[in-house]
Structure 1
Amino acid sequence: MMKISITLKNLVLLIFIPTILLMITACGDSSTSQTTITATPPQINKIRVAVSPDWYPWEYIDPITNELTGFDVNLMKTIGRDGNFEVEFVQVPFDEIFDGLGTTYDVAISAIQVTPDRENKVLFSQDYQNIGEVLVVPYWNRAIWGLNDVAGKKAAALKNSIGARNVQSVDPSALVEYDNNDQMFSDLLAADRKIDIVITDYLTAVSYTARKPGSVRITAPITTENLAVAISKNRKDIKSVLDYYFALEVKNYVVKELIQKYLAIPPEQSPSNLNLNGSR
């Protein structure tokens, strides 16, 4: 009888890659796959696109080539190529990215989540990905399965994040805010139990939990988070163009190819050990 030996590292990869590819592909298709390609959109010559290149794998500076790259960047480049218009990227800090819409640049793409508040200020394209928030808890903890379970616990989330707002909606006193993911996930497994739960997006959760298999578990998504391009309200022509080509790229499997290239990869293959990030 042939013996099959699977190392722990290979086991992690066997679990990690199919799981993340299946879930994100399903999420990404949930809305964009329903999009129909309408009449040919207006022709434009150029779109100025704001990006905040500090959010791997969506937009970042490649540490080897020192070039701007990522899921969002290559999606916009593909759309520009297929639409026969120039795409000019403008690098902007994320906390300022909405300020220059309509003046310094036309649109912004940086894993931007569609929210009601933002919809009051900008136009949004058809969403191109859907990434939900999840709870991450120690594997032995069988008392926490959904958002309501954070009440009375120590629930960690990044400052001003969607996760933080979700905790506050249930029990403001439960919220423990962090500046970075590394410290937050470290404290989750600390012997002194500094926190009970981490609330973050699925991509971030998988990236961190894959490093310590068997130590934590991830719940089912508790939210739906659509990612879309923010567009200046006076550029409805650009919205028509982007919606048309997003539908085309889904039909032509370009979005799935980008998922495989940038999202469905094990953590140790990330450039310079960069962590997968979700929406913001």
Structure 2
Amino acid sequence: MFKKIVVLLMLTMLVGFSAEAGMHTNSEGKPVITVASDCTWPPMEFINSDKQIVGFSVDLMKAAANAGGYVVDIKNVAWDGIFAGLASGKYDCICSSVSINNERKKAMDFSTPYFEVQQSVVTNKDSKATTLADFKGKNVGAQIGTTGYFAVKKVDGIVAKSYDEVGLAMEDLYNGRISAVVCDDPIAADFALQQEEYAKRLKIAFIVKSDTPEYLGVAFQKGNKEVLDLVNKGLAAVVKDGTYDKIKAKWFGSN
């Protein structure tokens, strides 16, 4: 999985960049890129007990900025409206476990993929379900506007229940109000396997089958090549110097 990402990032290594008129700079003259992130997706991006924005993608964006010669200002932005905010120029990009797909590529540009994900289905441990079709007639939750929610909506007979945050869906699952939750596999693992209370009752039942791989990328306003190139340069640099692997190991352990 990660080898694919490394190859893709290395192929997009850029030589030099421009930080000319139009881009905000700090007192040191470095470009400042404002990043929107819906911080409800542990371990990718979330708010810790000290009220700090942390996670795999947060560390990755900061490391890429350091390597690429720019600065990132990461802001917690609710998923509902996050894409509209990008289109209106409220921030320069979104790094928030955004899956790259053809529909989104019509409305925005994407960085080189930085992570490969699959859609996992979290259920109660006593569930015998092996496919989404097994939930026909039942309520299945997912965060609205995500690929997990789209996967649920594709199956006839399932009652798709949308949530503003995936954590709210997990809470309803834990309390028996829905039968399953569909979300990215690292998020599923965090809720179902690593959170002690949930781990006693929940499990990852299966992965939703897909004919094509699903990658996460940083999203940019259509045509904002200057900022996109800057971020791609930083991402490629952290792959080349081994920082990417160190960040991955910190949050997911070594393979």
TM-score, structure 1 as length reference: 0.69
* Count of matched residue positions in the alignment of Structure 1 and Structure 2: 230
Cα deviation for residue 217 of structure 1 reads 4.5
Distance 1:99 1:177 in 2: 22
Residue 90 (structure 1) shift? 4.0
Q: Per the alignment, in what secondary structure is the counterpart of residue 149 of structure 2?
A: helix
Between stretches 111-120 and 194-203, larger displacement belongs to 194-203
Find the aligned partners of 1:215 and 1:103 in 2 and give their Cα distance: 40
Deviation string, structure 1 residues 71-115 (Cα, Å, up to 9, x no partner): 222222212211122323344333232233363322221222223
**Compared CA separation, residues 168 and 42, structure 1 to 2 (3 A):** same
Seen in structure 2, the aligned counterparts of structure 1 residues 32 and 155 have a Cα distance that, compared at 3 Å, is farther
Which has the higher Rg, Structure 1 or Structure 2?
Answer: 1
**Contact in 2 for aligned 1:51/1:59 (Cα 8 Å):** no
**Does 2:223 correspond to 1:238?**
no
Q: CA offsets, 1:149-197, max 9 Å, x none?
A: 44x34251125243232122121x312415413333314xx5xxx6544
**CA gap 1:149/1:127 in 2 versus in 1, 3 angstroms:** same
1:182 is aligned to 170
C-alpha distance 169-60 of structure 1, shift in aligned 2 (>3 A) = closer
Q: Specify the alignment match of 1:198 in structure 2.
A: 181
Cα distance in 2 for partners of 1:186, 1:221 equals 21
Superposition misfits of 4+ residues, deviation over 6 angstroms? none
Q: CA deviation at 1:228?
A: 0.8
Gapped runs of 5+ residues in structure 2? 20-29
By how many angstroms is 1:68 displaced? 3.3
2:246 corresponding residue in structure 1? 257
CA RMSD, Structure 1 to Structure 2 (Å): 3.0
Query: Of 205, 209, 215, which residue of structure 2 is paired with 1:222?
Result: 209
Once residues 158 and 234 of structure 1 are traced to their aligned partners in structure 2, the CA distance between those partners, rounded to angstroms, is: 31
Q: Against the structure 1 CA distance between its residues 122 and 34, is the aligned structure 2 distance closer, same or farther, given a 3 Å change threshold?
A: closer
- The one-character-per-residue Cα deviations of 1:187-238 (angstroms, maximum 9, x if unpaired) are 4xx5xxx654432321232223324358644213434432111112232122
Distance in 1, Cα, partners of 2:179 & 2:85: 39
| Structure 1 residues 168 and 103, CA gap change in structure 2 (3 angstroms) | closer
Residue 135 of structure 1 corresponds to which residue in structure 2?
A: 121
Change (3 A) 1:41 1:256: same
CA distance in 2 between partners of 1:199 and 1:67 (Å): 26
Q: In the alignment, what sits opposite 2:4?
A: 30
- Greater fraction strand: 2
Alignment CA distance shift 1:186-1:91 (3 Å): closer
Equivalent position amino acid for 2:43 in 1 = P
Work out the CA distance in 1 between the residues paired with 2:72 and 2:203: 42
Match of 2:23 in 1: none
> Unaligned 5+ residue runs, structure 1?
1-25, 266-280
